Structure 1
Amino acid sequence: MGVKAQDIYDLMDRFEAGSATRLKLNWDGVELELEKGGATAPVAPQIMPVAVPAMPGAVAPAPVAAPAAAPAAPAPAEAAPAPVASDAPAITAPLVGVFYAAPAPDKDPYVQPGDHVKKGDTVCLLEAMKMMSEVEAPCDCTIEEVLVADGELVEFGAPLIRYRED
């Protein structure tokens, strides 16, 4: 069956709460080494994909505007996007973590309103415990609205991005 990301997060939480200072584990082919206490060298974040179910009827807190980017001149032939319905399905946070819209501060965001994405495309990153998790599109869709500001802490199940299924 394989190790699920949530199993690893649960293990990491229990390790952090416990009295052990070191844990080395090989679990279903996944090697995991945890250590706490003392000064250690910084660990480079690792990226792993996370499957995200859509929550069509989720009640969202008031949306937070995404940081303003340099305005691009729209093509005159393009129609303005329709207003986003508050009942549009949303991609939700699969874990508690810090939301990142782009792979690096100097890079373009993964998605912006109006972008068309395919099922499985990365739409954002969530950082938890120095690990970066990719959040993927649940289906072929058009991004309607990014609900979270870059660098904002999000809770499990919080709506991140509203979309319209293609």
Structure 2
Amino acid sequence: MTNEEIFALMARFEQSTCATFKLTMKDFSLELGKAAASAPNPAPVAVPVAAAAPAPEKPEGLFVTAPLVGTYYASAAPDQPPFVKAGDKVKKGQTVCLMEAMKMMSEVPAPCDLVVEELLRSDGELVAFGDAILRYRAV
């Protein structure tokens, strides 16, 4: 595991609601934990409505999501074309991307006949379980 991958895992963990995380590989082990708050929860503070930031809009549509935590790959090899591009028509079961976890590659199939509307991840990006990979429209 590279330092870049470790730092990416640490950043994801810090942003998550998990209290602990442990990863054990052949000759490598990583354990992360967050300190529990020692003071009781502070009382809620009233925030003026004008100061509240608007919630980010969640894109509408259907999504293919990551079936595991790993690295997203748009193609089978760096010199190969991507499995799908925006606007492509895809048949149910056709591979839309690869996910790598612990040196194991897993194909991610299309859940139905669809048209790819938007790719939401960059090649080589670390994704968590359930993260949206691409947005599609069922046909």
TM-score of the aligned structures, taking structure 1 as reference length: 0.51
- How far residue 86 of structure 1 moved from its aligned partner, in angstroms, is 1.9
Q: Structure 1 regions of 5+ residues with no counterpart?
A: 1-13, 18-35, 39-61, 63-84
- How far residue 15 of structure 1 moved from its aligned partner, in angstroms, is 9.4
Counterpart AA for 1:16: T
Q: Output the CA distance in 1 between the equivalents of 2:66 and 2:102.
A: 15
Counterpart AA for 1:121: Q
Report what 1:16 is aligned to: 24
Runs in 1 of length 4+ with deviation above 4 angstroms? none
- How far residue 142 of structure 1 moved from its aligned partner, in angstroms, is 0.3
Report what 2:132 is aligned to: 159
Q: Structure 2 regions of 5+ residues with no counterpart?
A: 1-21, 29-55
Determine whether 1:119 maps to 2:92: yes
Report what 1:86 is aligned to: 59
TM-score of the aligned structures, taking structure 2 as reference length: 0.60
Report what 1:8 is aligned to: none
The CA deviation string for residues 131-161 of structure 1, in whole angstroms up to 9 with x for no partner, is 0000000000000000000000000000001
Equivalences for residues 59-138 of structure 1 within 5 A: 86-138=59-111
Across the two proteins, how many residue pairs are aligned to each other?
Answer: 90
> Identity rate of aligned residues, in percent?
56
Cα RMSD for the two superposed structures: 2.3
Larger Cα Rg: Structure 1 or Structure 2?
Answer: 2
- How far residue 16 of structure 1 moved from its aligned partner, in angstroms, is 3.0
Counterpart AA for 2:88: D
Counterpart AA for 2:60: D
Report what 1:4 is aligned to: none
